[in-house]
Structure 1
């Protein structure tokens, strides 16, 4: 498992195995968010299997799947709500961790400076400079009203 700490309470990782969930529970993780659609995974790694394993270890499981080109404001809002409502550390996973970081980035735009968001993504191997215009637009929307 390749955990990358994005914030003090949110980490991302490429695809995990059901056996990794016991390790996450031992680390104190309280919420696991899957941003990977089932169609990208074999049956042994699909959401229902991961959810059952997470719940067996006392971890809340949130299925918020999307592909990069299908991410919507609903996905951003669901991820942001999950992070806000979590009662402890949260781990998001997808194919590489990038989607989990991008959806977080759009949720915090306007609350965290865009330069800082880009620096965080880049420092974890997710170069976000190309997202600057979209993040700046999201920041403007998120700070209105």
Structure 2
């Protein structure tokens, strides 16, 4: 996985595989957030499968898909709510990590 720690509360990543979920939990993350809509690319794991794997290992989950600037603006408040409710570090992913970083930037402005 290619990750980027934005601060002590959140790390972002490109698309993960279901097999990555246990490692994410083992690294101490408490919330797995997906900022990518299902079906963007063929072969992309769908959120329901990732969510089931995450919950099976004790991770909380959040699905805040972003596919446009308007989506990012609309997801600012839900992102803030999820971040505030997190019991520890958050691991967020999308296709490249950029949308996750945009949400984080919007939440800090």
Alignment TM-score > 0.5, same fold:
yes
1:86 matches 2:86:
yes
SS at match of 1:5: strand
State the shift of 1:62 in Å: 0.4
Deviations 1:34-92 (A, max 9, x none): 00000214466110000000000100110000113332433011111111110011011
- Partner residue of 1:75? 75
The count of residues paired between Structure 1 and Structure 2 equals: 109
Larger helix fraction of residues: 1
Larger strand fraction of residues: 2
Task: Give runs of ≥4 in structure 1 deviating > 3 Å.
Answer: 41-44
CA RMSD of aligned residues (A): 1.4
Q: CA 1:55–1:82 in 2, change beyond 3 Å: closer, same or farther? A: same
Larger radius of gyration: 1
Unaligned runs of 5+ in 1: 110-145
TM-score, normalised to structure 2, is: 0.93
User: How far, CA to CA, are the matches of 1:70 and 1:17 in structure 2?
Assistant: 27
State the shift of 1:16 in Å: 0.3
Q: CA 1:61–1:43 in 2, change beyond 3 Å: closer, same or farther? A: farther
Q: Is contact 1:68–1:99 with CA below 8 Å preserved after alignment?
A: no
